[in-house]
Amino acid sequence: MDQLNRIQEVINKKGITAYRLHKDTGITYALISAYIKNLRQPTLETLKRISESLGVKGRDLINF
């Protein structure tokens, strides 16, 4: 299965951890982990929170 989101790739490039993303966004660590592993996909609202926290555009977190 293709990766639907690029959250793991972006946090690796930014040099931060899933735990830090969890703390910065207020999204549970379990949910951040599921997004990173592509077990679940974030809603558009959640994607916006993550992109703002990472300082990237929402489209940078999605594989088209």
Tell me, yes or no, whether 44 lies in a domain: yes
Q: What is the mean predicted confidence (pLDDT) over 43-62?
A: 95
Tell me, yes or no, whether 52 lies in a domain: yes
What is the domain count for the chain? Answer: 1
Range of the domain at 26: 7-59
Tell me, yes or no, whether 51 lies in a domain: yes
As a whole number of angstroms, the distance between CA 9 and CA 26 comes to 20
Strands (E), 1-64: none
Helix, strand, coil shares of the chain, percent, nearest 5, are 60, 5, 35
| CATH of residue 14 | 1.10.260.40
As a whole number of angstroms, the distance between CA 14 and CA 64 comes to 21
Averaged pLDDT of the chain: 93
Q: What is the mean predicted confidence (pLDDT) over 29-37?
A: 96
Q: Place 2 in a pLDDT band, splitting at 50, 70 and 90.
A: low
Tell me, yes or no, whether 53 lies in a domain: yes
Tell me, yes or no, whether 2 lies in a domain: no
Q: What is the mean predicted confidence (pLDDT) over 21-48?
A: 96
| Residue where the block lists tokens 């293709």 | 2
Q: Note the pTM of the prediction, 2 decimals.
A: 0.89
Tell me, yes or no, whether 1 lies in a domain: no
